Amino acid sequence: MPEMSAYADDPFLTACHGGKGRWTPVWFMRQAGRSLPEYRALRERHTMLDLCRTPELAAEVSLQPLRRLGVDAAILFSDIVVTLLGLGISLDIEPGLGPVIHEPLRSKEDIAGLGTLVPERDIPFVAESVRILVREAHVPVIGFAGAPFTLASYLIEGGPSRHHARTKNLMHTEPELWRELMERLASAVLASLRSQVEAGAAAVQLFDSWAGTLSPRDYERYALPASQAILEGLRDLGAPRIHFGVGTGELLALMADAGADVVGVDWRVPLDAARARVGGRALQGNLDPAALFAPADVVMREVDDVLKRGGGKGHIFNLGHGVLPDTDPEVLRRIVDHVHSRTEET
Ligand code: 1CP
């Protein structure tokens, strides 16, 4: 979709700006990935990071859900830890587990040693993947990155973590060092997101997936300033900014104030309740990904409830978190059809 004018009455962008389009737009977090057999076939021949680093393959994986599901937006195929790769961090993405950092950051020296990200030099494949995708996709392309708190958790814990205890320990005991880490990560994330928009991404999503493990007071003090710097630093580009985390019911107002155009909501807060917390911003969400294993009539009833609470205006239908790997893609396709037909009628 290369012509900006072609976006004029696009349902996804209209909803991002708070409006009501021809239908309620729908896409799914992790729509590109293990629920699709065509993705699993490619993964038999390439590692996850090889897919991310090879623009033709990354673009192909991003296009797979467009062909099969008919969603209203494409998301770049990559991972939040690609920004860390660009900062010179040695890591892998292990099947069934997630990112593993070979030498977790634990000291002042480790943090001082983090480089500066120059996207064209350090992760040129990201912008190139976006350029190919924008040429090939018939819907807007969403660029993305992880927010500093969530990235710091992987960097410090060394991988997925339940309690984020080392991360919070650094945050509480060495607030100055913590702030330095947040600032370094924020400038890297901002540089990456700006280069994705300059390459043609029509919107961006900042994933602060694990921010919901913080109290509102700690979020405001230790995580929000860095996310705010990123979201504010994107404002001049005019691409809608989606801000998402899991378990963030008590943080929604703060996440909106950080500078989001759209606030992503997990399944724990009904959208009508979330609407009251986000001060006029658009909403994205929020069907429970585990509900997709229920019988079809139950799934569609849940979809209808989300649509009703979303209110039809300034609502992007999505799950409350990523598609679970065992999800039947046919259920995803039926949800897309259902959302479209339901909302075209009104
Ligand atoms: O082996 C495989 O095929 C890897 C599985 C996989 C995939 C398909 C991982 C490992 N990442 C991805 C792609 C990915 N990651 C996308 C692609 C685009 C799409 O949505 O279709 C995106 C947006 C991400 C972002 C991401 N990675 C987040 C934020 C979103 C979220 O789910 O909260 C996070 C936290 C990660 C880290 C990560 N990467 C992979 C896994 C399994 C995880 C989570 C690990 C954990 O629980 O901490």
Catalytic residue among 43, 166, 179, 221: 43
Average pLDDT over residues 60-72: 98
Is residue 264 classed as helix, strand or coil in its secondary structure? strand
pLDDT in tens, 259-297: 999 999 999 999 999 999 999 999 999 999 999 999 999
Q: Is 309 a catalytic residue?
A: no
Q: Is 79 a catalytic residue?
A: yes
Q: What is the CA radius of gyration of the chain?
A: 19
Q: Is the CB of 248 under 6 A from ligand 1?
A: no
Pick the residue whose CA is nearest to atom 10 on ligand 1. 98
- Which residue among 80, 192, 193 has the greatest number of ligand 1 atoms within 8 angstroms of its CB, and so is best to mutate? 80
Pick the residue whose CA is nearest to atom 7 on ligand 1. 33
Sign of CA dihedral 29, 32, 33, 35: positive
pLDDT in tens, 19-52: 999 999 999 999 999 999 999 999 999 999 999 9
Catalytic residue among 10, 53, 68, 79: 79
Separation of CA 339 and ligand 1 centre (Å):
25
Please determine, for residue 144, whether its predicted confidence score (pLDDT) is greater than 90.
yes
Mean pLDDT for the chain overall: 96
Residues 11 and 34: their CA atoms lie apart, in Å, by 27
Pairing of strands 98-101, 91-94: antiparallel
Q: Which atom of ligand 1 is nearest to the CA of 29?
A: 20
Catalytic residue among 7, 30, 288, 333: 30
Average pLDDT over residues 233-259: 98
Q: Is 34 a catalytic residue?
A: yes
Residues 292 and 223: their CA atoms lie apart, in Å, by 32
CATH-assigned architecture of domain 4-343:
Alpha-Beta Barrel (3.20)
Cβ atoms of 192 and 117 closer than 8 Å: yes
Helix or strand (DSSP H, E) at 147: none
Q: Let me know how many helices (H) and strands (E) the chain has, helices first.
A: 17, 9
Separation of CA 79 and ligand 1 centre (Å):
6
Q: Which atom of ligand 1 is nearest to the CA of 79?
A: 15
pLDDT in tens, 157-202: 999 999 999 999 999 999 999 999 999 999 999 999 999 999 999 9
Q: Is 272 a catalytic residue?
A: no
Pick the residue whose CA is nearest to atom 35 on ligand 1. 209
Q: Is the CB of 189 under 6 A from ligand 1?
A: no
Buried b (16+ CB within 10 A) or exposed e, 55-94: bebbbbbbbbbbebbebbbbbbbbbbbbbbbbbebebbbe
Cα 80–chain centre separation: 8
Separation of CA 76 and ligand 1 centre (Å):
12
Catalytic residue among 10, 53, 122, 154: 154
Q: How many CA atoms lie within 13 A of 261 on its CB side?
A: 22
Choose among 74, 40, 219, 233: nearest CA to 144. Answer: 74
Pairing of strands 262-264, 241-244: parallel
The reported pLDDT for the residue numbered 8 is 73
Residue 109 binned pLDDT confidence (cut-offs 50, 70, 90): very high
Q: Is the CB of 204 under 6 A from ligand 1?
A: no
The reported pLDDT for the residue numbered 106 is 87
Give this prediction's pTM.
Answer: 0.96
